[in-house]
Structure 1
């Protein structure tokens, strides 16, 4: 990116316009999440999970191929996040393949742990036959067949996810264990795990009923309900702060369980929170109609200051603990909180005319490891970008 590009992005981050909502906001948020989840795994279907759950606010925000405050009332809106005036060291990045231990035309890296050591993804044909793969320092291992649709991995290599029938699971030290489904609910959707071993997700029941849930890696058959009925949990930070929704409002809960609504950009009565790392969270608000569909607009919160910003990008695939934003569609871009940016490169052995479509789905806490896939010749192949200062 040029200096002028960086200046333009920084200005847009400070003062992006917020159009008036002209749609059914609640329905748009639900539909948008379902579309994002179908795209997240690059064609490995998880529609059956969502259809069985019917959970509002239960889908992570991630990229696509081609084209989550203290216990106070809702925080005041602010057009700008925290800005840094310190000089930024140059960053260089290289893309490389992740090995594929099994065959499959749809092989996608979906998540990375905060340190960048562990990566998780799925390999299959895109017809509900995907197997979960965990890469450790670049070495691939296939999880047991009872694990499907990985959602996240922590710095200890613990992987969590949800099978197609709405059963949550945790994989630790070579053993796969199922998560308890709270009484009165028929399914769960797991989203995140932190370094303390807290697992965050949402339970779903009859009539679109749902409740945020926390499990423990050490005791997967134990659980704690978060907030009131109608809550969802879509992310958890390393200190145990949970983000999600209460009804149609974006919400956060402290590690002690005290909750409060997050700010919503001016002109929008609702927003969703999709994930959180460090003091940062990202989510969506519904914009106007485009091509007969509602355009979902990305937003970012600073959980320390309470500031919320509408982002001038087509989508946000992830947020790093240092605030780096991952824009993942087509040609992935990493944007720092101060607006400076870097475009992730293609693979060095591929000519520009054969670059394919890149998908970036996860970013480490320091912003220096990004994972995803490239789509070309009707095949998805998993990639990792390693960056250095």
Structure 2
């Protein structure tokens, strides 16, 4: 062949490289397109449920007592340890009883003296009655003896009242628990002189443990639907703390306030819960769920399967061709640990509950069927 008709060497080299590149692309492109992401798929749960509205509440002790001295004096004993659980009647503090014991003895002596005086004046009055009958005493002297008898009788009552007061004050030196509960720390210790009365410093605080109240506010609709008949029937509520899964504790509505707050549109509710383990501490925040009446059919999914697209909530539904389909959903309340889906899903449909970070709508996936609860599976990070 004539050298003039031969293509240049550089052209041949470029042509060869293009051919090899196209061959490589043609070899690997179908494999890349055919790879399907491994995902966990669960069928939506379809069953009858009773919805629960959940509100934020705060725990309150049914009985809370600020322990104060009722007589002044020096603290000579503290019987409890900080945070100790006590029973009604258990000793807490002892104020030096000696001055008050002496006051009791003095009052007892005054009672004895008053009674002796009363015996004498009564006998003298009886003699005056006989003398008056024989005109042996003047009317004025008779009236004086009668008045002395009445005064002596009154003095006995006054002395007995003083003795009773002295005994009460002596009893007040031994400060005991007025209710069952848990005490706070001792604010005044041995050797401190304390005053008496409401304005005096608190020695410690005692709160009851079980049962315990949870106070929370509900909206007008919940009140009309579930709480307007409180007093005529029991209304069950549930409670959970920050560390609890769901609301495992069950209690009863104890009272509902007598008016709606016009500013917030809510009404105050108080529920009572047994607290035998003492885990419910006054002041803690809690989640309180109120039942919404009769059961109704519902679609439920695991919260971890729900994603957010701006203001919208959606899930990825896997169709019969193993393709992921975008599905916007409207969510309801929790029921049995799952989220109620009001609109967007139908019974029997399957959704991706784990691994959806690697999937886009329209992608083919490799589904692995798992239970909807997913409690034993790692929760995907969204």
Higher relative contact order (CA 8 A, sep 6+): 2
Instruction: Give the TM-score normalised by structure 2.
Output: 0.19
Q: Which has the higher strand share?
A: 1
Instruction: Give the TM-score normalised by structure 1.
Output: 0.18
Which of these two proteins has the greater Rg computed from alpha carbons? 2
